[in-house]
Each structure stands twice: as C-alpha cells, then as structure tokens.
Amino acid sequence: AKEAGIHRLTLLVVPGLDWSTKELDCLRGWQDHGHILAGHGWKHRCDRIVGWYHRLHSFLISRDVAEHLAESADGRIQLMQRCGDWFQQHFSEIPKLYVPPAWALGRLSLKELRLTPFSSIETQTGVWDLETAKHHNLPLVGFEADNLFRTISLRCFNAFNRQLAVRFKQPLRISLHPQDLDLRLGRDVRHTLLTNQTAISYGDFLKAANS
C-alpha cells in the first residue's frame, strides 16, 4: 500500500477473537496514523450451515465464514450490536462502517438495519448509506484465490468489475486479506494497487455522493 501511495486503509476488525492488549494497542496505533477501523462480524466463523442458500453460498463462495446466514433476522441485528458494543468498550466509539463476513448480510430490511449502531453497510454490490437510505453500487475486486476454481472465478469477476469501474467512472473497491500476496493472484494484487492512482475512504465517498 505504501509503495502504491495509499496511506488510508479501511481495516476490517473481527471483535470476537482473543485480542491481546498488545494487539489492541496496535489497532489504536494504526488509527492514529489515519487508518479507519470497520466492524466485520463477530467471530468470522459459523458453527452451522442453515438452509439451502447458506449451503450453496458456503460451497461456492464463503465456506464457513458467512456467520450472518446462520442467524435469524433478530440474531443478525444482535450480532451487529455485539460488534458495536465491543468497539465502544475498547475504542470509546463505534465505527461508521460495518462489513459482514463474505459480504453476506442476509435478509434485513432498511428499518432493521437502522436498529444497528452503524451508519453504513458494505455489501458485495456496494455500500448502503443508512442515513440517506441510498445504496451506492461500487465495483469490487478480490484476490483470495487458494485453489484453481477460485483463481479462475476471481479473475473473471475482477475483469468484469474493472470494466464497470471504467465505464461508469466509479471508485474500485479493493478487498485484501493478509495472505493474498502469497496466493495464486499475488501478482494481480500488486498490479491493481500500482495502477489505481487515487484512494478515497468510504466516508469521503459518501460525502461526495450526497453533496
């Protein structure tokens, strides 16, 4: 990111893990350097697969990380509330942005989403601004390709979304996991970062979209 001139990252934080004091201090230090924290589920893991849609989603995309899909609507709201409470406890403030694991939010109405402590929700197709009740479509690229199927699927998915970004002159969301540089699309990560000239935060994007 530094090599590409990107100095403000949105860091997705999974609260329900065993965070040490040192690790929490590290997150605070990243915040002090301008990076933005976002809520990202609770454990990033589901203990059970519920229903045919969740089973298909798990097989094709998410494996066992789409924890929202294992919950009822009330359970999803409670999960998000627990996430916000954790940030309030450890950082004295709740992030504006929430990103469900695998972007799998499950069925929640706008009214239900407004019961959560977050003001914007990222999905696979874009970002919900809960304050204005608007959904902004934003192309997305990802690189978590640890087998041949995911490599081929993500290359096609990424090519399509890059074309959308160019055609509609939209920002391109770049999703990165810590191990992505060591996986099959590691070279694509570097190329993507080095060829995207301007970085913008979610907050700045929503401000511009609403102005």
**How many Å apart are CA 114 and CA 163, to the nearest integer?**
33
pTM here is 0.94
- Ranges in the chain, pLDDT < 70: 1-2, 196-197
pLDDT of residue 7: 78
pLDDT of residue 195: 82
- State what percent of residues in the chain have pLDDT above 70: 97
